[in-house]
A and B are shown apart, each in its own frame.
Chain A
Amino acid sequence: MKKLSARRRHPAAALVVLLLALACTGGLYAVFAPADKAQADETAQSLTIEEGKKLYAVDCASCHGTGGQGTSDGPSLVGVGAAAVDFQVGTGRMPAATSQGAQIPRKKPVYTQAEIDALAAYVASLGAGPAIPAESQYSPEGADIAKGGELFRNNCAQCHNFTGKGGALTHGKYAPNLEDVDPKHIYEAMLTGPQNMPSFPDSTLSEQNKKDIIAYLDEVNSQDTENPGGLELGGLGPVSEGLFGWIFGLGGLIAVAVWVAARTAKAKKS
């Protein structure tokens, strides 16, 4: 101890202490934080499942059954997977209002992402299903936009319109507009097929295909989409544009003509 304290004013002392401190912090971090990933995850997972189960009992069980087995008011959640929960709750579709119209609409989400994750973990524990995708899976970066366009027109455009503006289905159902929908939710929708949308599992529409489609939508249907002509009128093409021209263009001309003729040019107004 004497020797050590005698060297405390050595020029290298500060450096040695700093290195020791860094090593300690790093070591402690390695011990407690992500080092033992599997173990840490397992405990965290079972905790979130417990939390999710509580949330589920409050808001979901009345329709989907106490064990997710489904009732006459809601389908079984066994095997739908975490991705379906993240989509349905994350886009505010669930929890749904008690009396629904033809289709459950998108609304402001009720739960925080942490609560959604807990619910998803609980539902995933009921039966194996698609997991919530990682950001690398759905991020539009590095995807082929042209290929995405081709895939979108082949698989999605029949309902969602060529640029994802949405469209009508039977009996008041509709395919929603995809403008500025979170790429994660688009990915999950393709994976799980919410409501009447068919699913496009990885076995028929690969991960890369999905990424391409998301990149295409990001390009053609977002707040920042470049639209050289402006005023795309729902992206329906020449029919709606012609109708708009006939009604508002010609209508405007008629209105101007009537206005001109209705005003007298005479000095004495009658």
Chain B
Amino acid sequence: MSSQIPEENLPAAQDTAHGAVGVADEKNPFADPGLPPHEHRRQDIDERAAKRSERTVALLFTVSMLATIGFIAAFVAIPVDKIVYIFPFGHVSALNFALGVTLGVSLFTIGAGAVHWARTLMSDEELTDERHAIEAEPEVRAKVMDDFRQGAKESQLGRRKLIRNTMFGALAVVPLSGVVLLRELGPLPEDKLRHTLWSKGKLLINQNTGEPMRPSDIVTGSLTFAKPEGLEEHDHDFNNEIAKAALMLVRIQPEDIKDKRTMEWGHEGILAYSKICTHVGCPISLYEQQTHHVLCPCHQSTFDLSDGAKVIFGPAGHALPQLRIGVNDEGYLEALSDFEEPVGPAFWERG
């Protein structure tokens, strides 16, 4: 194909083209303005300037080498737990800082050297190179189409319908084996999303102290987190269980509670709500004790705990589930049942 490049576009012929301006005529009303005249750089004319550039580039590359040596030296010499004070950053790890600075310098100076080299010393002569059609010759195209038609005819695909139809059937069915593998991505959820560890008679255990609580422990305006009795942090499935059972306890003056059911499900104004946001399941406990609002840090869903934890702002779809609580014979707070509805975000079959 190289034989098709017009002679005048070859690099050898280009030097004379610099500064040449085409002339408009009838065949070619828009004259090719050509390339602007080539301007020399100082380094092209002045050998001392070129030498200086060379030294600058070499210096940058040398600095890079030194920085790499510095990186290795810092890695070997600085203990990993050494902390130093460096002004805008505060008390930082000496090793991290030294490695970052030396690696940064060594990479940056390689780049800076290469750029300086290319800009001041490598050839900067402008070139013209014309684009050509990538389409094949008409004869080649005709031959390919003929070959294809011949092949299709010889395969007898159009004539032997049985083969054709069974082949389509086989191709359509084969992806099913891939689809059926998806079934084994994990166990089916069954009804795990509908139940938590809470059940009738389970004591509310304070997550800070690990002790059961009496109503007098929960003062108005306070916030306490509770886990169900029997669930310990070192248990194998602790994270799975607390992700559903996490509970926040607040106490609101009975006259401030707006919803009758909310009041009934609590105990003397102590209300127990799921701590899991009903939007996408973030732990939600940014409780404002004066407004009784709870805010989710992820998407700003806001719930009013004095009014059945109704959604008053944000993307959450439904109110936070409330746990029915009471007091057992010994005077400790206990759950009266599991949550009445699934906790956390909605799911396909939630209804």
Contact = CB atoms under 8 A, between A and B. Distances in A.
A197 B286 contact: no
A201 B215 CA distance: 13
Interface string B17-58: 000000000000000000000011111110000000000000
Given A155-B208, A230-B86, A193 B92 contact: no
Nearest to A206: B209
B329 interface: no
B297 interface: yes
Contact of A204 (B44, B206, B285, B293): B206
B225 interface: yes
Interface residues of B, number: 51
In the complex, the 6 A-B pairs of residues with the closest C-beta atoms, listed nearest first: A230-B89, A198-B223, A203-B217, A228-B93, A230-B92, A196-B288
B289 A196 contact: yes
Interface in A221-248: 224-231
B266 to A, nearest CB: 16
B25 to A, nearest CB: 31
B209 A209 contact: yes
B111 to A, nearest CB: 9
A260 interface: yes
B290 A196 contact: yes
Interface string A191-217: 001011111110111100100000000
A105 B69 CA distance: 51
Contacts of A197: 289
A199 B213 CA distance: 16
A230 to B, nearest CB: 3
Contacts, number: 116
Given A159-B286, A169-B286, A267-B45, A200 B92 contact: no
Nearest to A224: B91
Nearest to A263: B119
B62 interface: no
Contacts of B89: 227, 230-231
B275 to A, nearest CB: 9
Interface in A247-261: 260
16 contacts: A155-B225, A158-B283, A159-B286, A170-B293, A170-B313, A193-B222, A196-B288, A196-B289, A199-B222, A204-B213, A224-B91, A227-B92, A230-B97, A265-B41, A267-B40, A267-B42
Contact of A170 (B208, B225, B288): B288
A230 B43 CA distance: 43
Contacts of A54: none
Contacts of B120: 265
Interface of B: 39-45, 83, 86, 88-93, 96-97, 115, 119-120, 124, 206-209, 213, 216-219, 221-225, 250, 283-291, 293, 295, 297, 300, 302, 313
Nearest to A196: B288
Given A151-B208, A266-B39, A266-B40, A228 B92 contact: yes
B222 A200 contact: yes
A188 B42 CA distance: 73
A154 interface: yes
B200 to A, nearest CB: 24
Given A173-B288, A198-B223, A204-B217, 14 more contacts: A170-B300, A175-B286, A196-B291, A198-B287, A204-B213, A209-B209, A226-B91, A228-B83, A230-B86, A230-B90, A230-B97, A260-B115, A266-B39, A267-B40
